[in-house]
Structure 1
Amino acid sequence: MLTDIHPKLPMRNKDRTKEFYIDKLGFRQSGGDFDGYLMVQKDNIQIHFFEFKDLDPAENYGQVYIRTNQIERLYQSLLESAVDIHPAGHLEDKPWGQKEFALLDPDNNLLTFGQQS
């Protein structure tokens, strides 16, 4: 029955969110252009954003876990593109059998990327 999941995260500024996900992370805009709403996609991953202009990033706990099959390549490409990796989220093997790294978007949404070790 269930086929996909498309997380919805808050954003304060659509242009800034678009720039981060498209220009820095390599996503593309999908699904049309709507006021206060943004959809981006890369490979089979789609993330939706809703406008929340009064969002306090320090109080935002939005999180998404994204699985990948080429984590070292992805990590290196983001480093080469000068994307800031979360200070506590550099690429490492975790005790739960995943190799992971994490970063924060402009609104403090945490993106964790993982691959089975």
Structure 2
Amino acid sequence: MTQPLLQATIPVLASLDLAESEAFYTLRLGFATRARHADYLIVERDGCELHFWRCDDRHIAQNTSCYVRADTRALHADFTQRGLALEPPQERAWGMRELYVIDPHGNLLKFGEAV
């Protein structure tokens, strides 16, 4: 059997401060650091990888988002237990239950699952 040509989609998000991003994603969202360089960060949780590049323009991060398929209710409980104050997941008109998290630099993470 041949290996698929496309194997994963990995968002690359802007970070104004990689140490701050690393702390938020590991402490508040439960990711683990996989690689840390002067201008690049990789975190992972449950097979989901996120990459961050060092950026000085807040406007870029505030206008960036990514969508992650996930168990939104379980994540809401986990993130809340980790100290985040979040609205509970909402059912959207397009048939998805979604949980929104905005990181310290403005990146929007949309966690979603089919209703």
Taking structure 1 as the reference length, the TM-score comes to 0.87
Aligned residues: 111
Q: Which runs of 5+ in 1 are unaligned?
A: none
**Amino acid aligned to 2:112:** G
Instruction: Decide whether aligned partners of structure 1 residues 83 and 99 sit closer, same or farther in structure 2, where only a CA change above 3 A counts.
Output: same
**Amino acid aligned to 1:91:** P
Q: How far apart are residue 56 of structure 1 and its match?
A: 2.2
Of 95, 98, 105, which residue of structure 2 is paired with 1:97? 95
Percent identity at matched positions? 25
Residues 11-90 of structure 1 aligned to structure 2 (within 5 Å): 11-30=15-34, 32-52=35-55, 54-57=56-59, 60-68=62-70, 70-85=71-86, 90=88
Measured in 1, the distance between the counterparts of 2:23 and 2:74 equals: 22
Q: How far apart are residue 90 of structure 1 and its match?
A: 3.9
Q: Which runs of 5+ in 2 are unaligned?
A: none
Q: How far apart are residue 57 of structure 1 and its match?
A: 4.8
Instruction: Decide whether aligned partners of structure 1 residues 36 and 115 sit closer, same or farther in structure 2, where only a CA change above 3 A counts.
Output: same
**Amino acid aligned to 1:105:** D
Measured in 2, the distance between the counterparts of 1:59 and 1:26 equals: 21
Measured in 1, the distance between the counterparts of 2:104 and 2:59 equals: 8
Measured in 2, the distance between the counterparts of 1:56 and 1:63 equals: 13
Taking structure 2 as the reference length, the TM-score comes to 0.88
Superposition RMSD in Å: 1.7
Which of structure 1's runs of 4+ aligned residues deviate more than 2 A?
Answer: 56-60
Measured in 1, the distance between the counterparts of 2:60 and 2:32 equals: 27
Instruction: Decide whether aligned partners of structure 1 residues 34 and 106 sit closer, same or farther in structure 2, where only a CA change above 3 A counts.
Output: same
